Amino acid sequence: MELPDEVGIMTLPNAILFPQALLPLYIFEPRYRAMLKESLESQRMFAVALPHHAASTSLVPNRVAGVGLIRACVDKPDGSSNLILQGVSRVRFTDFVQEKPYYVGRIEVLTTEESDALEVEALSVKVLEMIGTMHDSGDIQAEGILKFLNEIKDYDALADIVTYSFIEDVTSKQEILETLNLRTRLRKVIVALRKQSSGPKMG
């Protein structure tokens, strides 16, 4: 899929868009309603980014984010919209060409770096084992996705889907999004899952 040179950016404090992921969004702020209108009239794409500092309320986007394609959009009478955004690529913003009413960034597409195939496969097996164990212990709910994950042979996609679906810590998710080497990315997924499974239980 060909991406545009520039995209609008929605800065959100708790949402990170990974390739393959489906992100439901409710668009109600005037600036993002304007961004959505522009996107629908052009390439149907925009980016979702964390603020540059995760704990900040600033709208300055992190330089690495996910670009998504609008798969469905339902407009409401009050001007707000519900939509589904499907992640298509991780990108780096090389420049911000607009800041108001919303950021527009010039993008560089980031691709996964090749890693040792045997090690990547072994790490992927470990990730799947951890997901199964965490599901069995009640740490996560993976009933509907376990079979699908076990059938994936694209380990790049596996790392991203597991991170998006099961890792809760936003800082860890952003770090994984920024990691291009697949072996290193899978290791970070394992560390984040291990930290999560050994953390305090809720409820």
Beta bridge partners of 92: 64, 108
Rounded to an integer, what distance in angstroms lies between the CA atom of residue 46 and that of residue 8?
A: 5
Q: Which of 47, 78, 110 is the last residue of a domain?
A: 110
Q: What's the pLDDT tens digit per position in 19-31?
A: 999 999 999 999 9
| Total-model pTM | 0.89
pLDDT tens digits, residue range 179-190? 999 999 999 999
Q: Which of 110, 126, 151 finishes a domain?
A: 110
Is position 1 within any domain? no
Residue appearing with tokens 């042979």: 153
Answer whether residue 202 shows pLDDT above 90: no
Separation between Cα atoms, residue 91 and residue 159, nearest integer Å = 17
The whole-number pLDDT of residue 114 equals 83
pLDDT-derived band at 55 (thresholds 50, 70, 90) equals very low
Q: CATH number, domain at 173?
A: 1.20.58
| Residue-wise DSSP of 105-138 | EEEEEE-PBP--HHHHHHHHHHHHHHHHHHHHHT
Domain count, the chain: 2
Q: Which domain holds residue 12?
A: 6-110
Position of tokens 């991406």?
3
Instruction: Give pLDDT tens digits for 98-157.
Output: 999 999 999 999 999 988 999 999 999 999 999 999 988 888 888 778 888 988 889 999
Res 78: pLDDT = 95
Beta-bridge mates of residue 82: 26, 74
Q: Is residue 203 part of a domain?
A: no
